[in-house]
Amino acid sequence: PGESFAGFPAITALPERLIAGWSIFPALGDNLSRKAAYNRHLAHIVKLISPSATIGVGAEVGNGTIVGHHAHVGPAASVGRGVIVNTGAAVEHECQVGEFSHISVNATVAGRVRVGSNVFVGAGATVIDKVSICDDVVIGAGATVVRDITAPGTYVGTPA
């Protein structure tokens, strides 16, 4: 109660029938919970891009995605629907980020990386260029991904 985000009230439970004209953004940190809320309220979903974020030439940002304060989406990058690119995170040139993933605070996804769907990249983690990460992966905070990840699971450390 009384919480807000970017000047908008945070609502923890939506009525089954939304008031006509409402727009919503499901700001749930858990990827699967965010996906469920997105699918439940599809007609009302919007994307949010902070005025301090940068979006490169030719980049695409999907509906229901947030690009947070001081975050960067590079040229020709593609960020799917329902993604969180959190404060200070960088998704560099020609990256592909699958739907309902979360690039955490100050994480760096270098150029030409492919991040699957439902992936969580922890705070301060780094994914080096041209790496591919499959769906349903968790990358721990501060980890460094230096090779392709081809199996779902949790990856931590340097190298992860």
Residue at token pair 């769907």:
117
Do 71 and 133 belong together in one domain?
A: yes
- Given this model, what pLDDT does residue 40 score? 76
Q: Kindly state whether residues 55 and 40 are assigned to the same domain.
A: no
Pair (89, 135) in one structural domain: yes
Cα gap 160→151, rounded to integer Å: 13
- Whether residue 33 lies inside any domain: the answer is yes
Q: 160 in a domain, yes or no?
A: no
Could you tell me if residue 32 is left (phi over 0), alpha (psi between -120 and 50 degrees) or otherwise beta? alpha
pLDDT per residue, tens digit, the chain (160 aa), is 566 767 777 666 666 565 566 777 677 777 888 888 777 777 677 898 999 999 999 999 999 899 999 999 999 999 999 999 999 999 999 999 999 999 999 999 999 999 999 999 999 999 999 999 999 999 999 999 999 999 999 999 999 8
**Would 146 be classed as within a structural domain?**
yes
By C-alpha distance, which of 73, 131, 69, 76 is closest to 119?
Answer: 131
Residue 78, beta-bridge partner list: 60, 96
Which of 69, 70, 72, 93 is labelled catalytic? 93
As given in the structure block, the two tokens for residue 21 are: 């004209």
CATH number at residue 74: 2.160.10.10
What global pTM score does this model have? 0.85
135 plus 76 within the same structural domain: yes
Which domain, by its residues, includes 81? 48-155
**What per-residue confidence (pLDDT) applies to 18?**
59
Task: Give the C-alpha separation, 100 to 117, whole Å.
Answer: 6
DSSP bridge pairs for 114:
96, 132
Q: Do the Cβ atoms of 139 and 124 come closer than 8 Å?
A: no
Q: Would residue 137 count as lying in a domain?
A: yes
44 belongs to the catalytic site: no
Cα–Cα dist 85/62, whole Å: 11
Residues 6+ apart with CB under 8 A from 43: none
* Whether 17 and 82 share a structural domain: no
The total domain count for the chain is 2
Same domain flag for 30 and 54: no
Phi, psi of 45 (to 5 degrees): -75, 140
72 in the same domain as 34: no
Report d(CA 103, CA 113) in Å as an integer. 13
